[in-house]
Amino acid sequence: LFMQWACSPPVSLARCMLPYALRDPYRISHFKSELYGALFPSAKEYLANLNNSANVGLLDPIMPGAQDYFLSIDRMCTAVWAGADPKASLETAAAEWNETTDRLGMESQKAFYTEFLKLPGATADNTVEKLGMAVTL
C-alpha cells in the first residue's frame, strides 16, 4: 500500500517537483502539470524537452554482466585519459569482456542480448519515436 501511495499521481508529482529529490518526472501527468509548469520561469520548456527527448532516448543494455562490461570500458577509458595507450586499453577491455562473456556463457549472453534488442529504445533504429509510440508535448 505504501508504494501505491508513494507512486500515486499527486504524491509522485510533489516528489518530482522537489529540487533536492533528484527525481525526474516520469508520468505524462507530470509533464503536463500546470503546477510543475509554473514552478520556475522555464519549467514548461524544461518539461517539454525532457518528455520529447525520451522519445529518442536509448536504453543501457539490460542483461547479466552489463555492469561488468560497463566498468571495464569505463576503467579503460579512464586509463587512456590518464595517458595509457589507447590500443592496449581497448585490447584489455576486449579481453575483460570476453572473460565476462565466457563466465556467463556465450549462448546465454547471445539470447539475453537478442531479447534486449527487441525493447523500444535498445538501438537508434528502434526508438520510441521510430516505433510510432512517441508522446510529444
Domain ranges of the chain: 2-54, 66-118
Residue 22, pLDDT score: 80
| Distance, CA of 51 to chain centre | 14
| 51-93 confidence digits (pLDDT tens) | 999 999 999 999 999 999 999 999 999 999 999 999 999 999 9
Has residue 21 got a pLDDT over 90? no
Residue 55, pLDDT score: 95
Q: Is the dihedral of CA 39, 45, 47, 50 positive or negative?
A: negative
Residue 132, pLDDT score: 95
Task: For residue 21, give every residue at least 6 positions away whose Cβ sits within 8 Å of its Cβ, in sequence order, or none.
Answer: 15
The rounded distance, in Å, linking the Cα atoms of 14 and 27 is 12
C-alpha cell at 120: 523500444
| Distance, CA of 39 to chain centre | 26
